[in-house]
Structure 1
Amino acid sequence: MRVTVAFNRFGPNVNQRMPRIRHGYAHVVNNFYDGWREYAIGGSMGPTVKSQGNLFIASTAESVTRRMPVGHAAGKDWHWHSSGDSFENGAVFKQTGSKVRPNYNKHQAFPAVSASEVRSLTKDAGALRCSARAAC
């Protein structure tokens, strides 16, 4: 499995799974994380994660990442890498393994912007606001 999570605004008051990955590869790029309760990015069964150009602002929980099952050896051979992310209010991304590159072919590739631009990039992100009279 390969997945890209891009240009989203998560929070405030979210809990977890933004995303949670099993096996496979995830490129998490240019998202705005405005607080989380348990973790922002989680995984199990040895996934590879490339976090790039995201803005993480901690609220109650500081750890951005969580490897499951929890324990001393959980995730020790996994490849989770942060590149160009910005961390505020004590947010921490635990890197493991070697650096990873986005897993795209030349037709799927796109440039990631700086984490300093994520607030403006995601200012209109979120659920659609629809009414019975207006089409979404």
Structure 2
Amino acid sequence: MLLNLIAYEMCYLNAYEAWVTSYTCLLDTLIDNGEDVKALRKAGVLENSLGSDEEVAKLFNEIGTNLVPYKSAYLNAKREIQKHYESWRNTLFSQLKKEYVKSPWAFFALLGALIALLLSGFQTYFTVWSPKSTCDDLCMFFKSNHHL
């Protein structure tokens, strides 16, 4: 059906935007192997009724080799995907997820280290900028009278 839609779009004389062709080219840029098809299926972008994920990846890679997409169709989607991919925050979270969510012990070690770092920050803050109390007057009295 996809090939028929592309052929219809190419033969239609008044078509100035090849939306199906551009969408197919976009999917071709996103799909390289079966893992990419699996991720797109989980996201709800694709429904795989053709066979295995590897067969779908092979199909899109074969279809997309000779297609020329319309310039502006799905250009914004490509930019947003690239922006999301290059985001520092997303890269950091994916590395943390890859390294520390593999096992529950690694996750608990990371969580414990973050809690210890947070508590030591609070302790440092209250040590340096502690509010004035009655004990401060007592300490000043001892310092002035007992040469401490």
What TM-score do the two structures reach when normalised by structure 2? 0.20
Q: Specify which structure has the higher proportion of strand.
A: 1
What TM-score do the two structures reach when normalised by structure 1? 0.21
Of the two structures, which has the highest relative contact order with CA contacts closer than 8 Å and spacing of 6 or more? 1
Bigger Rg, structure 1 or 2 = 2
Q: Specify which structure has the higher proportion of helix.
A: 2
